[in-house]
Amino acid sequence: MKRILIKPIEMPFWAQDLLLAFPRIVYGYLLAFNFGAAKFGMPWSPEEKNLNLFEVAFWFPGDVADFGPPFSWFPIFFAWMAAFSEAVGGIFWMIGLQTRITSFLIFCTMLVAVFLQHGDSGMWNMLPGLGFLWISLFYMVLGSGRFGLDSIIYNKLKK
């Protein structure tokens, strides 16, 4: 099971793997250092946000609770998970570690963000979240490809 989750699908040529790694790295960076770090305490979170390590921004559980059940039943848990998926998941995406699990968490987060948070605010506002959503679908299937830690770990476990 462990191996299946991290086993990357490799393309016939390494250049194709390299090309497919670009969106993962760029979107991972955006999640970890921009979207995620603004609402989840990371060492590089903006100073004015005043977030301690692994702390979720004060306004986020309230926003999550507004989505209704089941989110309103456990707003802190869902807010923490969503923020964690973005900020820490972004790092995991960048380095290609546990790519499929990370992609699943980001997929769930973006599904909620796109259809519950921005569902009423028009297609234009849904587009950023949709971008992450589609990207996460691809990496749930492909894994990290050749250029990720999953590939190195898988090859070590295989020996």
Partner 1 sequence: MKIFLLSLSILTILITFSSCVQKTYDRKVRFLIDVSQMAPIKSCGLRGSNSPLSWDQDLEMKPLIKDSLYSVDVTFNTGYLGCEVKFVVNGQFEFQNKDNRRIPFDVNKDTTIYNAVFDKINP
φ and ψ at residue 56, rounded to 5 degrees: -90, 145
Q: Binding segment for partner 1 among 22-30, 75-83, 118-126, 132-140 (CB under 8 A)?
A: 75-83
What residues numbered 97-136 form the site for partner 1, per CB under 8 A? 101
Compute CA distances 124 → 3, 120, 121, whole Å: 39, 11, 8
Residue 25 Cβ vs partner 1, minimum distance, rounded to whole Å: 24
Q: Which of 30, 79, 97, 112 binds partner 1 (CB under 8 A)?
A: 79
| Per-residue tokens: 113 | 């963000």
Q: Answer yes or no whether residue 44 interacts with partner 1 by CB under 8 A.
A: no
Query: Integer distance in angstroms from the first to the last C-alpha of the chain?
Result: 16
Q: Answer yes or no whether residue 55 interacts with partner 1 by CB under 8 A.
A: yes
Q: Which of 13, 22, 44, 77 binds partner 1 (CB under 8 A)?
A: 77
In the bound state with partner 1, the residue whose beta carbon lies nearer, of 30 and 56, is: 56
- State whether residue 122 is helix, strand or coil: coil
In the bound state with partner 1, the residue whose beta carbon lies nearer, of 80 and 132, is: 80
Residue 49 Cβ vs partner 1, minimum distance, rounded to whole Å: 6
3-state SS, one letter per residue, for 71-114: CCCCHHHHHHHHHHHHHHHHHHHHHCCCHHHHHHHHHHHHHHHH
In the bound state with partner 1, the residue whose beta carbon lies nearer, of 147 and 154, is: 154
Q: How far apart are CA 152 and CA 73, in angstroms?
A: 40
Q: Which of 51, 94, 110, 133 binds partner 1 (CB under 8 A)?
A: 51
In the bound state with partner 1, the residue whose beta carbon lies nearer, of 2 and 159, is: 2
* Binding residues vs partner 1 (CB under 8 A): 1-2, 41, 47-59, 61, 76-77, 79-80, 84, 101
